[in-house]
Structure 1
């Protein structure tokens, strides 16, 4: 991705080493927003390994304004057996509450859409909490459609370990 200066002078760019404190701060803010303030186990060191290690498996785009990370989009690749192509799964999109309304969320989403198009990927997907009306409205405004026939499933903790032993 090429760095892009937004209309107000903020910079949209791929995350780089040194961004971990700002990214982690916004992950914590997202957890508070999503009513799970104590759920984050991630650390700066874990972000460094994940985003900038020898074989990164996840990626991030950020919006930087006045030297601070004020928006993040963390994502990873998916694969569709039906289309035979990769896609992007958006894990987290978050813009600092004080910075909302400046178009940063839309710019981050557009950057990921551009990644898909440039790489020949045919899907850009994510989940949203069903109570998160502001985000749902935003996603509808950019043309996203809900996949109501699909339900996310998850295994964690003891149940994950039980299945692993089966």
Structure 2
């Protein structure tokens, strides 16, 4: 099975929207409205800089089957940038077929070509499949950071005090 991984362009907005809807279901979020997801995908892909793409999509036989959502951060260790992997998602019917590995390989190749020193990521402590996957890749677990979030009313309150 050949996996085609590429940075998403505006032409792949529909494929990205499909994946966004499936990610929401997987993470037990309220289902996304397909039109709203498509609108968001079109907007995001239209705003992306070619230097810093944010969505990689994996296709098998022309059908989208995986998504990686990333951000590039400055500076990393020794003034090298880092790639933060926000989400790696493979459709349920395509899991354990090398799609996730193909996405990570694509991102690793991008990092090497662009002088990006590392890939950082998080996963939920309950997501045993993801933990096994990343352990199998040789990912190092780092316990020296605590994941924090500012959102909702807290975010509004902070913004109004600035």
TM-score by length of 1: 0.85
Matched, 1:18 2:18: no
Partner of 1:48: 42
**TM-superposed deviation, 1:54:** 6.2
Partner of 2:68: 73
Tell me, yes or no, if the aligned pair for 1:28 and 1:37 is still in contact at 8 Å. Answer: no
Name structure 1 gaps, 5 residues minimum. Answer: 1-7
Tell me, yes or no, if the aligned pair for 2:10 and 2:46 is still in contact at 8 Å. Answer: yes
Cα distance in 1 for partners of 2:76, 2:57 equals 30
**TM-superposed deviation, 1:53:** 2.2
Between Structure 1 and Structure 2, which shows a larger proportion of helix residues?
A: 2
Matched, 1:148 2:126: no
Matched, 1:157 2:162: no
Partner of 1:3: none
Range with greater deviation from structure 2 (115-124 or 32-41): 32-41
Cα RMSD after superposing both structures: 2.2
Range with greater deviation from structure 2 (94-103 or 15-24): 15-24
- Partner of 2:78: helix, strand, or coil? coil
Aligned length: 159
**TM-superposed deviation, 1:17:** 1.9
Name structure 2 gaps, 5 residues minimum. Answer: none
Range with greater deviation from structure 2 (127-136 or 13-22): 13-22
Q: Deviations over 1:22-52 (max 9, x none)?
A: 2222222222222223478962222222223
**TM-superposed deviation, 1:162:** 0.7
Tell me, yes or no, if the aligned pair for 1:20 and 1:47 is still in contact at 8 Å. Answer: yes
Tell me, yes or no, if the aligned pair for 2:55 and 2:69 is still in contact at 8 Å. Answer: yes
Cα distance in 2 for partners of 1:65, 1:55 equals 26
